[in-house]
Amino acid sequence: MRYVWQNTNWTEFSWESDALIQPLGLARLRQGRLLSKANALGLKFSKEARVEILIEETVKTAAIEGQVLHRDSVRSSVARRLGLPTAGLLTAERVVDGLVDVLLDATANYSEPLSPERLMGWQAALFPTGYSGLRKIRTGQWRGPELMQVVSGPVGKEKVHFEAPPSDQVDMEIRDFIQWWTKGSKNIEGLLRAAIAHFRFVTIHPFEDGNGRIARALTDMALAQDENLPSRFYSLSIRIMAERDGYYRVLEQCQKGDGNITDWLLWFLECFERALEHSETLISNVLSKARFWQQHGQTILNKRQQKVINRLLDAGPGGFEGGLTTRKYVGMVKVSRATAYREISDLVAKQIFRQNHSRGRSVSYDIIWADAE
């Protein structure tokens, strides 16, 4: 099997421009529409939208690698770093803080130079204990001499999807990548540059672990440079998580190819457009949440009721699977079933909750969303 990095001048990629014209145009059109909508949010709502997107970005980019992060821990880390109130939030785990730091550094400091030391710092931040799960790994340095392969399947029947360049080539490959990033890529269309940077970095696979997360951070950095904006109002990682089978399939196909990466660029542009579409929904949810509290700002509620309401608002319309039940209320705020029933009934009386049509023996409730202006 011959991999793309084994080709002479392997980084001189080719693609079929005619095949990219339409998806590139559609992606740019939706990008402009989303940025216009974000610009119209105003400062307060823009920060709220940024918080929600960064939380999703952090959770999903970790989930792609099989790492499950507690959403409330992520919310605490994001809130603290963006100067928002943290009262009542969990203390963030070190691994969460590290990933949030990387994502923020990549976008908020997008104009700062990229260097091997910066990349190594990002990777070290992802693994503050020096372990990936139960396995001790190299942090803050390139991977060692062991063969680096992407495999799947049970022991003894593994399928090799990709093999990275030998470790003694990594330093040279990364320095060539940074030189291209800094100077050689300036005449490439911005979205294509972000896609190529992602593909090239994951092909080099310079670290023992964390390569995918850093590749996605670099993609965000390239997009921030393209837009000249430090704030992200969409998350590519959310879409990659939703479509990761296709992501891994097209990566493998092009990493075993002759350097023509048209299929990867097409997938990237279409995934990017879907990410923008998802974020339009998220921004709409931020505005809906704001309208809700404008409508009920004077309603007397206890802290438990506020917590449950915010949990449902964060989930968005229809996002709280199965609706709210008395049992779920008990689990969220740790009260007796009788207290939960009484507080839910109070919220129904105040026209904040409505009872769903009964399905079987379990009664459930949903929030009544404020009407759009």
Is there a contact between 215 and 222 (Cβ–Cβ < 8 Å)? no
Report pLDDT for 70.
82
The Cα 367–Cα 323 span in angstroms is 9
- Per domain, the residue ranges of the chain are 4-284, 299-367
- Euclidean distance between CA atoms 188 and 14, whole angstroms: 12
**Cβ 195 vs Cβ 264: under 8 Å:** yes
**Strands 135-136 and 131-132, bridge-based pairing:** antiparallel
320: left (phi over 0), alpha (psi -120 to 50) or beta: beta
CB neighbours of residue 299 within 10 Å: 14
Are the C-beta atoms of 140 and 121 separated by less than 8 Å?
yes
* pLDDT at residue 372 in the model: 46
Q: What is the pLDDT along the chain (373 residues), one digit of tens a residue?
A: 689 999 999 999 999 999 999 999 999 999 998 888 777 766 566 777 778 888 888 888 888 888 888 888 888 888 888 877 665 666 778 888 999 999 999 999 999 999 999 999 999 999 999 998 889 999 999 999 999 988 888 888 888 899 999 999 999 999 999 999 999 898 999 999 999 999 999 999 999 999 999 999 999 999 999 999 888 888 888 899 889 999 999 999 999 989 999 999 999 999 999 999 888 877 777 777 777 887 888 899 999 999 999 888 877 777 787 889 999 999 999 999 999 999 999 999 999 999 987 655 678 999 998 764 4
3-state secondary structure the chain: CCCHHHCCCCCCCECCHHHHHHHHHHHHHHHHHHHHHHHCCCHHHHHHHHHHHHHHHHHHHHHCCCCCCCHHHHHHHHHHHCCCCCCCCCCCCHHHHHHHHHHHHHHHCCCCCCCHHHHHHHHHHHCCCCEECCEECCCCCCCCCCCCEEEECCCCCCEEEEECCCHHHHHHHHHHHHHHHHHHCCCCCHHHHHHHHHHHHHHHCCCCCCHHHHHHHHHHHHHHHHHCCCCCCCCHHHHHHHCHHHHHHHHHHHHCCCCECHHHHHHHHHHHHHHHHHHHHHHHHHHHHHHHHHHHCCCCCCHHHHHHHHHHHHHCCCCCCCCECHHHHHHHHCCCHHHHHHHHHHHHHCCCEEECCCECCECCEEECCCCCC
CATH number of 299-367: 1.10.10.10
Fold agreement (4-284, 299-367)? no
Measured distance CA(203)–CA(251) in Å, rounded = 9
Choosing among 1.10.3290.10, 1.10.8.60, 1.10.3470.10, 2.70.170.10, the CATH entry for 4-284 is 1.10.3290.10
- Token reading at 254: 């092009």
Beta-bridge partner residues of 66: none
Q: Using alpha carbons, select from 252, 310, 359, 303 the residue that is nearest to residue 72.
A: 310
Q: Can you tell me the distance from the alpha carbon of 45 to that of 284, in angstroms, rounded to the nearest whole number?
A: 11
For 101, list phi and psi in degrees, rounded to 5.
Answer: -60, -45
Nearest to 127 by CA among 102, 91, 92, 98: 98
